[in-house]
Amino acid sequence: MGKNSAEHAEDDRDPVITMRDVTKTYQMGAMQVHALRGVSLEIAAGEYVAIVGASGSGKSTLMNIIGLLDWPTSGAYAINGVEVARLSKNRLADLRNREIGFVFQRFHLLPRTTARRQVELPLFYAGVPDRTARRRALDALAQVGLGERVDHRPDELSGGQQQRVAIARALVTQPSILLADEPTGALDSQTGKEVMALFHELNEQGITLIVVTHDLGIASQAQRIITLRDGEIISDAPAARQTSPFLSASTNGQGARPAIPAQEVLA
């Protein structure tokens, strides 16, 4: 499809992500590094998209720009119709906190803090009243299958449970977009399958899910795979799912979609 995939969406859902000719250039001494070269794309509300590419392909830069952690050198970027370039830093931070939930390879949990308090933290920073924050945190933990572990600290939880706390923390602000960077990278294959089953259920509930990964087995579970090379989109197509040869290419055996519901797998 080349570097312009803005025409990809074939349904009538409104786009939550719109990019037009986005570039990103870094100055390293006397040398310019072109991390992104004229990237255009749209991601519709409720889509499940994987962004893949080798090291140096630009996928991390693209993720940072989508997540409002970095800004384009040129081009246009809008989230839910809001043009990012027109916003002050404070309004950008508000937009990021309101619209985007982040899940990373590392869980970034406070070691002596309970699961409930971990999930409440973004709401406290947003000025949400204590009682409301507590209720929403408990709801988010129940949503990821941890309703009975709300008072456990990280050292009392498995790696998969810690990642689910991180997912609940991302969900508690009720974002329209969940942005996951190598979300199974620190997990064994079985636990990774459980986390991917949970992502699938969240997407079925209407959350727009964007997974950034080098693992084609993980990527093949998405509805759509965007492939980057040298800062350009070289492919943007539906994932082949069950029959995809990528399933056997997964680095940790997580390619196949679980055959049973996430809540059963996560029990």
Tell me whether residue 3 is in a domain: no
78 belongs to a structural domain: no
Is residue 235 exposed (0-12), middle (13-18) or buried (19+ Cβ within 10 Å)?
middle
Q: Count other Cβ atoms within 10 Å, centred on residue 27.
A: 8
Whole-prediction pTM: 0.83
Q: Where are the beta strands (DSSP E) in the chain?
A: 4-5, 15-28, 31-44, 48-52, 74-79, 82-83, 100-103, 177-181, 208-213, 224-229, 232-238
Give how many domains the chain has, as a whole number: 1
**Is 80 contained in some domain?**
no
Classify residue 86: in a domain, yes or no: no
pLDDT one-digit tens code per residue, 136-185? 999 999 999 999 999 999 999 999 999 999 999 999 999 999 999 999 88
Is 102 contained in some domain?
yes
201-245 pLDDT, tens digit each: 999 999 999 999 988 889 999 999 999 999 999 999 998 743 333
Domain that holds residue 173: 47-67+98-265
